[in-house]
A and B are shown apart, each in its own frame.
Chain A
């Protein structure tokens, strides 16, 4: 089964969970006075559930259209059947790095975690000239911190928690 059908199936499953919440659990906490309303907070979600399941089924079961190869899209578009040729490892490592950034942003402070993120990101992609990379990352982190904190006035904790 092609990936798009798996996604359609996952979407139908999501609709079922969503629909269960809308049909069976949500109205319990509704105050009696609101029950007289023609519309409840669950009305719209109920409609969405039904529409979602129908559309999901259509996508799941509709026959594959004869996709014409678009010459303009030929390069640059990812062909799933040869996924192994792509740098999937690098992409996964970068996703991990982003999660790491999210988790270290508070404890390490903006400057430390940003420099680390930019340096490690470039290293993952194959950059080895650390003597250029580290100053560039430090400069970028510093100037963005200055822009956000001083010019725009949005608070960003620059140093690790234990220092402040």
Chain B
């Protein structure tokens, strides 16, 4: 591990890469503050730039800087305006916004910055410890297990979608898988489902799809419902310092939530949003009497918990991405796409084949967290001013960047029509409360899933591999349980609720 760290240090601490970390954090923070542009959209926008760099290490460093910056930027707008730009920072606004209204905006931002820093750094240490272990296990996996593992990943993403949502999430996953089959498959180079349209020959572009799924609907929602981007007076930002007592109060919270957040982040599909809500809930439950009353009215613990947890979870979500090649969230799914475009295949071989990429990313996580802390503390008062950009200017620019993001990659105007078309469909899907991240994850994993399935089928001359390889069978059973359990429990809860209603 020490040797790896040194390799990483050597690769990450070049002037160019350091500039990339700083640049990524700054861009991420600035754009992340704009309500409506979450890490997923920002990373999607930055991908053409990152791919343009050509060097996978630098590109990944830039993108992870953007990722952290975006999460932090999202907390800024949650705290100052109660307008969480990112789902993962919704819980931050529960206590952050009340604090800001009490005139403690500066303190709230400081706590958020420190909690994010601690969560991210502890997460990076855990990643360093657990990733190699996970990747040795992963080396035992063959294509049959990979296929099964991806099925598990996809079902986990659906299963963690929340009660009443499993069916919908599963439907979106399947839609994503179907979209992944459009174009020439690796299996036979036969064009499938192109309906004779030349532009579909190479399949849908994943950047276009990512933009259409996330950035476009969000921008349209902002147009339709101005309250979503409610602009208020950022108020005076004073009193950046936190007292010794306050520091003592939040230290155990940060410790607990870093661990919990990290392990939730590792689970595919859970991610920063669930980690932050769960972190908030757990801390509220274990807080005593008066402190528990404070939650929701400006408790520093209530602010520190989700902030720590979401950053630790972001780091945690890199574990399945880097070691198994399975993205745990929409954001890491986009990162995976970027990596593949840069000719790096994340997976168990990554640590042995390209240790410099792997370790440089981990080192850049430390640097990124440090940069965020150093950069943002003094900048906090100025940062808030960006939110004052009038909506009339903001929205056309968001839309324009969305269009550019998919145009630059392909240099093809048809791509823009596809983007708008999918964007409208995605907006409709969001109206109906369908989660969109599973669709994108399904789309990205689809090709790999099919390739591994095909390889296993060819090796075993049929579906016999499911029974011949116990691990495959176990994984597939797990996947089935993951999908069926939540609906079984929901059914039982419904039955029980009906019973109560009848007066039983």
Residues of A within 8 A of B (CB): 2-4, 6-8, 11, 14-15, 18, 21, 26, 29-30, 34, 37-45, 48, 51-52, 55-56, 58-59, 62-63, 65-67, 72-73, 75-76, 78, 80, 86-88, 90-91, 94-95, 98-99, 101-103, 105-106, 114, 117-118, 121-122, 125-127, 133, 136, 140, 144, 148, 152-156
Contact = CB atoms under 8 A, between A and B. Distances in A.
Contacts of B429: 7
23 contacts: A2-B432, A4-B434, A21-B193, A39-B454, A43-B457, A44-B453, A45-B178, A45-B181, A48-B178, A48-B181, A65-B164, A86-B225, A90-B223, A91-B223, A95-B220, A95-B423, A98-B416, A99-B417, A99-B420, A105-B407, A105-B416, A117-B400, A154-B52
Contact of A48 (B48, B164, B174, B433): B174
Interface of B: 48-49, 52, 83, 90-91, 93-94, 163-164, 167-168, 170-171, 174-175, 177-178, 181, 185, 187-188, 190, 192-193, 220-221, 223-228, 230, 390-393, 395-397, 399-400, 403-404, 407-408, 411, 413-414, 416-417, 419-420, 423-424, 428-429, 431-434, 450, 453-454, 457-458, 461-462, 490, 494, 497
Nearest to B430: A78
A149 to B, nearest CB: 10
Contact of A78 (B170, B221, B434): B221
B413 A105 contact: yes
A133 B461 CA distance: 65
A8 B432 CA distance: 10
B392 A125 contact: yes
A103 B171 contact: no
A90 B226 CA distance: 11
A72 B90 contact: yes
Contact of A7 (B192, B411, B432): B432
Given A8-B171, A59-B167, A76 B227 contact: yes
Listed residue (B390, B400, B408, B453) with the most chain A CB atoms within 10 angstroms of its CB: B400
A109 B399 CA distance: 18
Contact of A38 (B49, B408, B413, B457): B457
Contacts of A26: 192
A4 B433 contact: yes
Contacts of B432: 2-4, 6-7
A58 B167 contact: yes
Contacts of A37: 458
A125 B391 contact: yes
B220 A75 contact: no
A44 B391 contact: no
